[in-house]
């Protein structure tokens, strides 16, 4: 391909909103242009690399027996109503009505579309397991799209969905997907951090996220300095300061050695910090108590304090019964934060949020800032493990400007439910080996997830087992964002001058720069390009009438793995000058051997990246 015919509009300047490296370099190198906020057009250079990422993903999916299909991007709203997500998904779901008033969704993910296809075809256990995938356009109505294609509104995702007769088969495919993901990222030259987590909620029984480190990452990861433990902060556990094998008698014993609980006046004091400075003590001595509102609570609340009047309902036929709304007091040691994902999992709730002030006043009988577990009867108390070991604590007294001190678990209050609710942070200890945990910011590129029967149940999918009995298949889902993967490759592979593409995903393998595209230089450049292309190497030939400096800068910016300079002086000695984009030194090559040598090096790098991991 001749540069002058390739439509590669490079730039020196970048838009002010391009704050991360990949966004800046994709713009500058003419890979993408903005069509609107969070909407990008891939130009020819960008699309070439994009298609290579796409092909790597396709090959690895095919290799594990997943079958490619192509549902639509615009999907009937009916399917999303069946699954319940029409209501439960937030506003990031782009809903629309057509001219006939019918509801549609621009797919952000496709559990419904796939499950509807499978539902209509599935009859026998002999058809399972079945794994299907698509590589297709998705839309997520981000309020603040940013970081270029890293967090756009429209993007392309590979999403696979698998259907199984049981957990063993699901686990087998889940593991195969995990291995495929590791190969995909390795082939793209990416260093990923696989983050395992037991997802708990939503019927899932396992999930793994594939993260790349990023200063602007959405996710906080906790990694162990000693072993290979890694977890998203949303789900991270840590070695507990107190034994999870809680013994109420031990607590009572400890409480008996504590002075009686007493009220103290704390005028104008509401936050933990204010209390600490007022009482001249540390946050670890406080029991922080927060009132939460939870939706669709599947946990059985019969007999729980204050829950006598709650009624269970079914959100959909076949769905388990749940309480549409319930309130809880959550107690945790004052220096810790509640992890709401863990809380939702403990309550089997679809969503938890801090209660409104009015609800806090109603439940605690006091203004916000004076909640505490002692004497609280209006709602169930959910305590983090840390609280069960506190027997001389300060906590809210359910009255304005009053706190308790000497509060002791087992004597002055007890929890209705004890659970691990803390947000783990750097400095906490690894739950596996006890090593110190540290934090990294990361972006999620892929996610594999055991869904269980959430969708197959709500959408009435069934098959007949070997004994002719109707059963609901179990399901997994597996996603990779292509745009993000491409941008992350640039985040990992660049220098001040531009991109440094791994050969597997480079838009071209070689850029040939004739110093002046005329005479013998032109002939030599053309001949070399033809020889390389004959060997299957993708060549960009810079035929522009530009100064060599401009061409060199553009070549560095574009990041093509090999640059070959054809100039009169070297050519007189039968030589051309080659340089690997990732290296500093030039190599003088015999023109006659150049094509062989270069293709050998390139195929070597591709082979290494594609080798099994």
Interface positions with its own copies (CB under 8 A): 5-7, 9, 33, 35-37, 39-44, 47, 50, 65, 67-76, 78-79, 91-92, 94, 96, 98-100, 102, 106, 113, 116-117, 120-121, 130, 132, 136-137, 139, 141, 143, 153-154
- Cα distance between residue 266 and residue 193, in whole Å: 47
| 99 vs 311 by CB, closer to its own copies | 99
| 59 vs 213 by CB, closer to its own copies | 59
Sign of CA dihedral 251, 256, 259, 263: positive
| 411 vs 551 by CB, closer to its own copies | 551
Shortest Cβ 30–its own copies spacing (Å): 8
| 157 vs 297 by CB, closer to its own copies | 157
Sign of CA dihedral 344, 345, 346, 348: positive
- The DSSP call for residue 8 is -
- Cα distance between residue 87 and residue 504, in whole Å: 42
| 7 vs 87 by CB, closer to its own copies | 7
For helices 591-610 and 519-534, the axis angle rounded to 10 degrees is 40
**Distance between alpha carbon 292 and the CA centroid of its chain, in Å?**
26
Question: Which are the contacts of 58, defined by CB distance < 8 A and separation ≥ 6?
Answer: 68, 135, 158
Per-residue CA distances from 612 to 60, 183, 184, 187, 608 (Å): 11, 7, 10, 9, 9
286 cis-preceded (ω within 30 degrees of 0) = no
Measured from the Cβ of residue 110, the count of other Cβ atoms closer than 10 Å reads 28
Q: Would you say 43 and 30 are in contact if contact means Cβ atoms under 8 Å apart?
A: yes
Shortest Cβ 42–its own copies spacing (Å): 4
Shortest Cβ 65–its own copies spacing (Å): 6
| 79 vs 598 by CB, closer to its own copies | 79
Type and span of the H or E element at 104? strand 103-106
Shortest Cβ 137–its own copies spacing (Å): 5
Beta bridge partners of 588: 577
- The DSSP call for residue 285 is G
- Cα distance between residue 164 and residue 472, in whole Å: 9
- Using CB atoms within 10 Å of the CB of residue 138, give its burial: 0 to 12 exposed, 13 to 18 middle, 19+ buried: buried
Shortest Cβ 92–its own copies spacing (Å): 8
| 77 vs 548 by CB, closer to its own copies | 77
Shortest Cβ 36–its own copies spacing (Å): 4
Shortest Cβ 105–its own copies spacing (Å): 11
Shortest Cβ 485–its own copies spacing (Å): 15
- Cα distance between residue 350 and residue 344, in whole Å: 7
The pairs formed by 585-588 with CB atoms below 8 angstroms and a separation of 24 or more are none
| 48 vs 183 by CB, closer to its own copies | 48
Shortest Cβ 134–its own copies spacing (Å): 9
| 9 vs 427 by CB, closer to its own copies | 9
| 90 vs 317 by CB, closer to its own copies | 90
Shortest Cβ 324–its own copies spacing (Å): 24
Tokens of 537: 């190497």
- The DSSP call for residue 23 is H
């Amino acid at each position: 391909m001749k540069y002058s015919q390739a439509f590669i509009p490079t730039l020196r300047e970048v838009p002010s909103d391009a704050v991360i490296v990949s966004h800046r370099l994709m713009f500058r190198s003419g890979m993408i242009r903005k069509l609107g906020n969070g909407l990008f057009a891939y130009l020819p250079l960008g699309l070439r690399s994009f298609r290579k990422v796409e092909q790597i993903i396709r090959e690895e999916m095919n290799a594990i027996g997943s079958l490619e299909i192509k549902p639509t991007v615009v999907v009937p709203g009916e399917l999303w109503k069946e699954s319940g997500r029409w209501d439960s998904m937030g506003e990031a779901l782009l809903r629309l009505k057509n001219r006939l008033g019918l509801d549609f969704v621009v797919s952000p993910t496709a559990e419904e579309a796939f499950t509807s296809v499978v539902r209509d075809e599935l009859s026998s256990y002999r058809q399972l397991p079945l794994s299907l995938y698509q590589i297709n356009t998705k839309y997520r109505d981000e309020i603040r799209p940013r970081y270029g294609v890293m967090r756009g509104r429209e993007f392309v995702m590979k999403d696979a969905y698998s259907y199984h007769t049981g957990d063993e088969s699901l686990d087998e495919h889940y593991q195969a997907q995990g291995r495929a993901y590791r190969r995909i990222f390795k082939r793209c030259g990416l260093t990923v951090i696989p983050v395992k987590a037991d997802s708990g909620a939503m019927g899932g029984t396992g999930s793994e996220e594939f993260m790349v480190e990023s200063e602007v990452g959405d996710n906080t990861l906790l990694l162990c300095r000693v072993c290979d433990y890694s977890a998203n902060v949303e789900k991270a556990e840590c070695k507990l300061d107190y034994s999870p094998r809680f013994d109420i008698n031990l607590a009572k014993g400890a409480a008996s050695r504590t002075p009686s609980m007493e009220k103290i006046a704390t005028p104008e004091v509401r936050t933990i910090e204010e209390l600490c400075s007022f009482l001249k003590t540390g946050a670890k001595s406080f029991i922080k108590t927060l009132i939460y509102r939870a939706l669709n609570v599947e946990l059985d609340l019969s007999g729980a304090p204050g829950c006598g009047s709650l009624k269970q309902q079914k959100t959909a036929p076949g769905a388990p019964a749940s309480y549409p709304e319930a309130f809880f007091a959550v107690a945790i040691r004052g220096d810790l934060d509640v992890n709401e994902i863990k809380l939702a999992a403990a309550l089997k709730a679809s969503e938890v949020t801090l209660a409104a002030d009015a609800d806090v006043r109603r439940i605690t009988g006091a203004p916000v800032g004076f909640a505490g577990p002692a004497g609280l009867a209006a709602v169930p108390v959910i305590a983090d493990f840390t609280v069960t070991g506190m027997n001389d604590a300060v906590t809210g007294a359910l009255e304005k400007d009053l706190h308790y001190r000497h509060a002791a678990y087992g004597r002055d209050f007890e929890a209705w439910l004890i659970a691990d609710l803390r947000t783990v942070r750097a400095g906490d200890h690894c739950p596996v080996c006890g090593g110190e945990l540290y934090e990294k910011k990361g972006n999620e590129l892929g996610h594999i997830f055991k869904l269980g029967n959430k969708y197959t149940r709500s959408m009435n999918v069934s098959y007949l087992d070997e004994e002719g009995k109707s059963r609901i298949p179990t399901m997994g889902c597996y996603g990779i964002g292509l745009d993000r993967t491409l941008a992350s490759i640039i985040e990992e592979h660049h220098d001040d001058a531009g991109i440094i593409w791994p050969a597997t995903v480079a838009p071209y393998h070689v850029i040939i720069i004739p110093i002046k595209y005329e005479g013998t230089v032109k002939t030599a450049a053309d001949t070399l390009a033809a020889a390389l292309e004959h060997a299957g190497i993708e060549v960009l030939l810079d035929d522009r009438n530009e100064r060599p400096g401009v061409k060199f800068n553009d070549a560095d910016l574009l990041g093509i793995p090999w640059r070959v300079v054809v100039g009169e002086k070297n050519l007189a000695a039968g030589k051309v000058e080659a340089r690997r984009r990732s290296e500093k030194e030039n190599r003088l090559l015999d023109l006659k051997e150049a094509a062989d040598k270069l293709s050998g090096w390139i195929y070597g790098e591709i082979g290494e990246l594609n080798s099994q991991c």
